[in-house]
Chain A
Amino acid sequence: MAVQRSVGGRIGMSLVVAMIVVFCLAPVGLLVLTSIKSPADLSSTGFWPRQPTVSNFVEVFGNSTFLRGLLNSGIVVSVSTLIAIVFGALGAYALARLQFRGKVAILLLSLSVITFPGIAIVTPLFRIWLDVGLYDTRIGLIIPYVALVVPLVLFILTSFFREIPAEIFEAAYLDGASRARVLRDMFLPLSGPGIASAGLLVFVILWHEFLLAVTLTATPAGRTAPVALSLFTGRTNVLEVPTGAIAAASIVITVPIIVVVLVFQRRIVSGLTTGSTAG
C-alpha cells in the first residue's frame, strides 16, 4: 500500500495537500478574523484587526432572537435526527435482513425522495401548515425534516447492515441466543458505527437547512438559528449590515456541528467487523 515516492514527488504531494487545506480553511479563517474586528477595523482595509475585540460575540449572545434560534435549532435538529435514525434503522434492518416482496421498489421509492427538489414542496406545505396550525412551530419543522432525511438514513444503513456477515447472527442463534439477545448483544454493537455516521450526516444536513426553515416560520418562536442569522440587522439602522456580528454568529452556529462531529467520530471506528471472518 505504501508506495515509496521520490523526494521531489513527496514535496510536490505536500504542496498540493497544503493548497487544498488553505483553500478549504481560508473562508473560516477570514470569518474568525472578521468576528474579532471592531467597527473601526471593519471599515478599514487592513487585513489583521488592530484592536481585536469580543464585542461582536457579546452582541450575539445579547440577541435574544438568535439565542432562541439556537435553542429551536437544537431541539428541532436533535429530535428530527433521533426519529429519523430510529425509523430509518428499523426500516434498513428489514430491507437488509428480511425476505419480503417489493424490497427493491421500497428502497428506490424512498431514494427518489432524496432527489426530489425541496422548493417544489415548500409552497403547498406552507399552505397546509397554515391550515392545520403547524405553521411557525417546532413540530412543523420536525415533520418535513424527518421525511427529508429518513430515506438517506435508510440508504446508508441498509448498505451498512448488509455488510455485517449474517453468519455472526447465525452463530449467536446456535449459541442459544434468542432474537432479542442477538439484537442486543450482536446487532446493536455491530451497527453502532453505521448509526453514528448516519446520525452525524443527518444532523449536519438539518443543522444548516434554510429553505424550509425560512418558509415555515415567521417569528422567533419557530425560527431556527440559520434563519435568525439571516435576519441580523444593525442596531440603529436596519439597512446597516452588522458584518462583525454576523461573522460571530456564524462561528457560534458552527461550534455545535464541530462538537457533534468530535463526539460521534469516536464511535465511527471503521471496519469494526474486521476479524470476524476469515478473509
Chain B
Amino acid sequence: MARIDLRGLGHTYSNGVEAVKNVDLAVDDGEFLVLVGPSGCGKSTILRMVAGLEAATVGEILIDSTLVNDVPPQDRDLAMVFQNYALYPHLSVYDNMSYGLKVRRLDSETIDERVRRAAATLGLDEVLDRKPKTLSGGQRQRVAMGRAIVRQPRAFLMDEPLSNLDAKLRVDMRAEIARLQRDLRITTLYVTHDQVEALTLGERVAVLKDGVLQQVDSPEVLYQRPANVFVAEFIGSPPMNLVNGTLELDEDRLTARVGGRSLHVGSAAIARHPRATSMVGREVIIGMRPEHLHLSPAGRDAAPSLLATVDLDENIGSERLLYFTLRDEQGAPVAASERVSDLDEGLERLSDSFVAKLHGHEAVSYGASRSANGTVQIHAEADQLHFFDPETTEAL
C-alpha cells in the first residue's frame, strides 16, 4: 500500500521530444487513478518513470513520501502489467507468477499458497503447468495480472492492459480488474487511451494531452464540468458537439445564438460557467453533448431550436445516432468548431457534422419529426450547455 506523488515531473527523450511536461499528480493510498489521453500524450512515459524504467528528466517521484528518482525498478516494490503482457516465454504459468516471489526469497509454502490463490481467483488453476504460448490471449492477460497480484506490491502500474483483447473479453476483464482492485485496495495507476475504460475504472481520471495534465477529477466531474475544450471532446462518446456562437441577453435571460437561432441557457449551465455572463456579446465555443440534444416536434417553432439536415441515421436498437449538418435560416451550413484533438473514434469521417443521441421513445418516433423538406429542429437541454473561451479553449 502506498501513496504516489509526482512533483513537477518532466521527461525529454534523447531526440529532444518533450514527452511529459511539469506534471503534478498524487495517487492516494488504495486509490485507482487512470491516466488517459490520445496516443503519444506521454501517459505511458509517466508510468514508466514511476516504474523506474525511464528516468525523470526533471521533477520528483515519491512513493510514501520517499524520493525514489534514483531507486532502481527492482527496489521500488511495484508490479507492472504491460500492454503486450511480457510473460516469461520459457517458464510455465506457475513459474511466471512465482518468479517475483522466488527472487524475493519467500519460502516455497508462501509462494505456493499465493500463486494458487491468485490462480483460483483468475481461473488459471487448469493451466498452471502450461507455457504461455499455449494460452489464449485472454489467459495470457490473466497470467500477467496474476503475476502482479501475487507480489502484493505497494502499487500496481498498468499500461493499457486490455488493449490487445477483443471487445467482449475487454469488457469482462474491465469488470474483473475493477473487482480485484476493490477487493485488494492496492494503489493503482492505470494507463489507457480509451475514455470509456478510464471512466468505468477510475476513481479519479487524469486527462493528458501533449505531455501536459489537463484535468484530474472524478469521472462525474470530468463529464459534467470539463475544464477545457480538449477534455470536453475527449470524455464522452460520441464526443461533445462544439460550435461557435455568441452569448446574448434576451430580456435578462442568457441566450446562446448559433446560426441565427437561439438556445435558452439554463441556470445550472450558468452556475457551472460563472464567467459566461461576462462574455455577453462576445463569441464563445458552445458545447452540447449528443445525449442532451433532442428533436423538437415538427412544424412548431415554439421552443428555441436549431435547424438541421440529417446526413446519417444509425439505429442501434436502444438508441439512435443522428449525424446532422447544422443550418442557418437561409439553409447554409454552420461549421463545427475546429477540433483540438484527433479523435480516433471513427467519427472523423463526419468530423464536420454534429451528432445527436436519441433514446427510447424519441429514437422510435424520429421519422415523425421530419418535415417535408428534410430538415429537423433540434434543441439542447438548457441546463446542459457548455461554454468555452475560443482564445484559451478553457471553460468559462
A172 touches B88 (CB 8 A): yes
Interface size class of A (residues with CB under 8 A): 20 to 34
Residues of A within 8 A of B86 (CB): 165, 167-168, 170-171, 276-277
Q: Which of A30-38, A150-158, A175-183 contacts B (4 or more CB under 8 A)?
A: A175-183
A174 touches B89 (CB 8 A): no
Q: Which of A80-88, A233-241, A267-275 contacts B (4 or more CB under 8 A)?
A: A267-275
Given A165-B84, A167-B84 in contact, is the A175-B147 Cβ separation under 8 Å? yes
Give A190 to B147 CA distance when docked, in angstroms. Answer: 19
Give A36 to B83 CA distance when docked, in angstroms. Answer: 62
A238-279 residues with Cβ-Cβ distance < 8 A to B are: 271-279
Give A273 to B147 CA distance when docked, in angstroms. Answer: 18
Q: Is the C-beta of B137 less than 8 angstroms from some C-beta in chain A?
A: yes
Residues of A within 8 A of B90 (CB): 189-190, 272
Could you write out 23 A-B pairs with CB less than 8 Å apart?
Answer: A165-B84, A170-B80, A170-B86, A171-B86, A171-B88, A174-B51, A174-B53, A174-B79, A175-B79, A175-B99, A175-B147, A175-B151, A176-B74, A176-B75, A176-B77, A177-B103, A190-B90, A274-B133, A275-B132, A275-B135, A276-B85, A277-B84, A279-B84
B80 touches A174 (CB 8 A): yes
Give A273 to B90 CA distance when docked, in angstroms. Answer: 7
B100 touches A176 (CB 8 A): yes
- Give 20 A-B pairs besides A177-B74, A177-B100, A278-B164 with Cβ atoms closer than 8 angstroms: A165-B84, A167-B84, A168-B87, A168-B88, A170-B86, A172-B88, A172-B99, A173-B72, A174-B76, A175-B79, A175-B99, A176-B74, A178-B74, A190-B89, A190-B90, A273-B89, A275-B131, A277-B85, A278-B141, A279-B164
When C-beta atoms are compared, the residue in chain A nearest to B48 turns out to be A170
Per-residue interface assignment for chain A, residues 11 to 51, with 1 indicating a CB less than 8 Å from any chain B CB and 0 otherwise: 00000000000000000000000000000000000000000
Give A99 to B55 CA distance when docked, in angstroms. Answer: 14
Residues of B within 8 A of A174 (CB): 51-53, 73-74, 76, 78-80, 100
B87 touches A276 (CB 8 A): yes
When C-beta atoms are compared, the residue in chain A nearest to B80 turns out to be A174
Residues of A within 8 A of B83 (CB): 278
Q: Is the C-beta of B223 less than 8 angstroms from some C-beta in chain A?
A: no
Q: Is the C-beta of B104 less than 8 angstroms from some C-beta in chain A?
A: yes
When C-beta atoms are compared, the residue in chain B nearest to A168 turns out to be B86
Q: Is the C-beta of B373 less than 8 angstroms from some C-beta in chain A?
A: no
CB A272 to nearest CB in B, in angstroms, measures 6
Tell me the interface secondary structure of chain B in the complex: loop
Give A272 to B88 CA distance when docked, in angstroms. Answer: 10
Q: Is the C-beta of A130 less than 8 angstroms from some C-beta in chain B?
A: no
A173 touches B73 (CB 8 A): yes
Q: Is the C-beta of B134 less than 8 angstroms from some C-beta in chain A?
A: yes
Per-residue interface assignment for chain B, residues 113 to 139, with 1 indicating a CB less than 8 Å from any chain A CB and 0 otherwise: 000000000000000000111110100
CB A182 to nearest CB in B, in angstroms, measures 9
Tell me the interface secondary structure of chain A in the complex: loop
A160-213 residues with Cβ-Cβ distance < 8 A to B are: 165, 167-168, 170-178, 181, 185-186, 189-190
A44-70 residues with Cβ-Cβ distance < 8 A to B are: none
B4-47 residues with Cβ-Cβ distance < 8 A to A are: 14
Give A190 to B86 CA distance when docked, in angstroms. Answer: 13
Per-residue interface assignment for chain A, residues 80 to 115, with 1 indicating a CB less than 8 Å from any chain B CB and 0 otherwise: 000000000000000000010000000000000000
Q: Is the C-beta of B327 less than 8 angstroms from some C-beta in chain A?
A: no
A167 touches B134 (CB 8 A): no
CB B338 to nearest CB in A, in angstroms, measures 36
Give A246 to B19 CA distance when docked, in angstroms. Answer: 68
Q: Is the C-beta of B82 less than 8 angstroms from some C-beta in chain A?
A: yes
Residues of B within 8 A of A168 (CB): 86-89
When C-beta atoms are compared, the residue in chain A nearest to B135 turns out to be A275
Partner of B89, one of A172, A178, A274, A278: A274
Partner of B133, one of A99, A176, A275: A275
Residues of B within 8 A of A277 (CB): 84-87
What 7 A-B pairs are tightest by C-beta distance, nearest first?
A275-B133, A175-B100, A167-B86, A275-B132, A278-B164, A277-B84, A276-B89
CB B184 to nearest CB in A, in angstroms, measures 17
A278 touches B85 (CB 8 A): yes
B99 touches A185 (CB 8 A): yes
When C-beta atoms are compared, the residue in chain B nearest to A192 turns out to be B90
Which residue, B53, B83, B90, B134, has most C-beta atoms of chain A within 10 A?
Answer: B90
When C-beta atoms are compared, the residue in chain B nearest to A173 turns out to be B73
Give A151 to B134 CA distance when docked, in angstroms. Answer: 36
Which residue, A174, A189, A271, A272, has most C-beta atoms of chain B within 10 A?
Answer: A174
CB B192 to nearest CB in A, in angstroms, measures 15
Give A272 to B82 CA distance when docked, in angstroms. Answer: 19
B131 touches A176 (CB 8 A): no
B53 touches A173 (CB 8 A): yes
Q: Is the C-beta of B386 less than 8 angstroms from some C-beta in chain A?
A: no
CB B77 to nearest CB in A, in angstroms, measures 8
Q: Is the C-beta of B140 less than 8 angstroms from some C-beta in chain A?
A: yes
Give A99 to B51 CA distance when docked, in angstroms. Answer: 20
Per-residue interface assignment for chain A, residues 211 to 245, with 1 indicating a CB less than 8 Å from any chain B CB and 0 otherwise: 00000000000000000000000000000000000
Give A181 to B14 CA distance when docked, in angstroms. Answer: 28
Partner of A275, one of B74, B76, B80, B140: B140
